[in-house]
Amino acid sequence: MYALADCNNFFVSCERAFQPQLEGRPVVVLSNNDGCVVARSNESKAMGIKMGTPFFQLKSLVESGKLVACSSNYTLYGDLSNRVMSILSGVLPGYQKYSIDEAFFTLDGIKPSDYRAVCGELVRRVRRCTGIPVSIGIAPTKTLGKVANHFAKKYPGYRGVCIIDSDEKREKALALTPIDDVWGIGWRGAPKLMAAGVQTALDFVRRPEAWVRGRMGVTGVRTWKELQGTPAIADELPAPRKSICTSRSFADMITDKAELRLRVSDFAGICAQKLRSEGSAASAVGVFAHTNPFRKDLPQYYPWEMVRLDTPRNSTQEIVKAALKALDKIYREGYAYKRAGVIIDDIVSAGEIQGQLFETEDERERQRRQDEISAIMDKVNKPGSNLLRLATQRPGHYADGIRREHCSPQFTTDWEDLLIVK
């Protein structure tokens, strides 16, 4: 049996964990630069606010006090996610993190009669220790676990835990699940199924396998089998990424090259850290810097440059150095840059790097020292910060320079932002 643990309205719940005055009020969390809605409380959903709604359309509601808007605070969200997952993985086996607010577990070693008691206690413990409400769906497959989790979240009578452990429960749940809510189908695959008369998940599983394969391919057949209670999604780690990109739109346009170098250095540093976290290295580093396409009154420029490394690397020094070399090639005076980013490509396993034939001992020693420094940086830097950084990088959080006019404090990761109890 699988258990899917999912944090309810996670970003909003993180904001409420340290601001209880937000409980029961309509709340939305905004994307970078306070652009659009990326998370909603149940109350804001009831108001008809949709995901992706531009913030400027909601400003009047915020100003009148009918809606609370929070800028995205990913440092806080990441830290609370780690705390939630630590509690869950300390009890449930087979931990597989699916996203910042979701994880799959297996229930091996736990008696079926104890599923509800064990998971119910976990739901209460997570809420008590972190302030985050969690729902757990239990079923024989991951896809059914998603279905069960939906019911655990939607209906208070389940008290955070829903179990699908019989064909009767499975069919009843599928009959109440719209086809566009099924994991693996969603809004992309649902229209063609609905056009063929498939309105619910139960309608879908009652179609012949050949019919499903003809319309949805192998992926659709896997979902079809999972909804019937047959595991068809392997418990495997995701394939290593072929490329990594870190980019941002700036709150204000940048004309100063020195400031643009700082931003590109930050992006390259983030890419390097991601490489090391995945045990990978890259031999190609690209940089782009774009002007604002909506400012037709200004000159437009959309350059891109790639720099290749002699040997795949993942040290912050090497990746930043290559990124700045690429930036020097594309930067032009007289343009106002609104967005920039770093893309690293040709990624290989760090354990499979083949050295150069004529590499000197000094070069090998320099690379060893760079790897040691990068390892120390990873150990010291908390998520979202660059406490230890290169001189070409900016101090403070990586999010500096992004418009966040409604951002909450770093309640759990910054001494200056700890709650004061009076």
Predicted confidence (pLDDT) per residue in 193-222, tens digit: 999 999 999 999 999 999 999 999 999 999
Predicted confidence (pLDDT) per residue in 147-184, tens digit: 999 999 999 999 999 999 999 999 999 999 999 999 98
Of the pLDDT bands very low, low, confident and very high (cuts 50, 70, 90), residue 414 is confident
What ranges do the domains of the chain cover? 2-163, 167-227, 244-380
Of the pLDDT bands very low, low, confident and very high (cuts 50, 70, 90), residue 32 is confident
Predicted confidence (pLDDT) per residue in 80-134, tens digit: 999 999 999 999 998 998 899 999 999 988 999 999 999 999 999 999 999 999 9
pLDDT at 369 over 70: yes
Of the pLDDT bands very low, low, confident and very high (cuts 50, 70, 90), residue 12 is very high
Structure confidence at residue 336 (pLDDT): 95
Structure confidence at residue 25 (pLDDT): 96
Structure confidence at residue 396 (pLDDT): 62
Picking from 197-201, 302-306, 395-399, which range would have the lowest pLDDT averaged per residue?
A: 395-399
Task: Tell me the HSE value of 376 on the side-chain side, using a 13 A CA sphere.
Answer: 10
Look up residue 357 and give its two tokens.
């034939």
Structure confidence at residue 357 (pLDDT): 56
In angstroms, the CA 421 to CA 14 distance is: 19
Helix (H), strand (E), coil (C) string for 5-50: EEECCHHHHHHHHHCHHHCCCCEEEECHHHCEEEEECHHHHHCCCC
In terms of DSSP H, where are the helices of 297-391?
A: 316-330, 361-380
In angstroms, the CA 2 to CA 77 distance is: 25
Predicted confidence (pLDDT) per residue in 242-278, tens digit: 889 998 888 789 999 999 999 999 999 999 999 998 8
> Taking residues 293-301, what's their average pLDDT?
92
pLDDT at 358 over 80: no
CATH of 2-163, one of 3.30.70.270, 3.10.20.30, 3.50.50.60, 3.40.1410.10: 3.30.70.270
Structure confidence at residue 398 (pLDDT): 55
Mean pLDDT of the chain: 90
Residue 2's nearest CA partner among 129, 106, 157 is 106
Structure confidence at residue 238 (pLDDT): 57
CATH for 167-227 is: 1.10.150.20
Fold designation for 244-380: Dna Ligase; domain 1 (3.30.1490)
Residue 13 and residue 131 in contact, taking contact as beta carbons nearer than 8 Å? yes
Tell whether the torsion through CA atoms of 389, 318, 241 and 141 is positive or negative: negative
pLDDT at 340 over 90: yes
Which residues are 247's β-sheet partners? Answer: 341
The count of other CB atoms within 10 Å of the CB of residue 37 is: 20
Most confident of 28-37, 71-80, 126-135: 126-135
Structure confidence at residue 115 (pLDDT): 95
